[in-house]
Structure 1
Amino acid sequence: MTYDARRTRGQLADGVRRTRGQLMDGVRRTCTQLVDGVRRTRRQLVDSVRRTRGQLADGARRTSGQLADGAQTVRTARGQRAKSPNDARSTSGRAHRYSDTNQIAQWWNAHEVLRSESIIGQQMNFRQQQIQTE
Structure 2
Amino acid sequence: MSWQSYIDNMKTVDASGKIPVAEAAICGMAPESVWASTPGFANITVEEIKRLAGNRKDFGQSGPTIAGMKCRLIRDNLDTDGLFCLDLKSSADAEGNAYNVCVGKSLKALVIAKGTKEANGGQVSGKVFSVVDYLRKAAM
TM-score range, shorter chain: under 0.3
Bigger radius of gyration? 1
Instruction: Considering Cα pairs closer than 8 Å and 6+ residues apart, tell me whether 1 or 2 has the greater RCO.
Output: 2
TM-score calculated relative to the size of structure 2:
0.25
> Which structure carries more strand by proportion?
2
TM-score calculated relative to the size of structure 1:
0.25
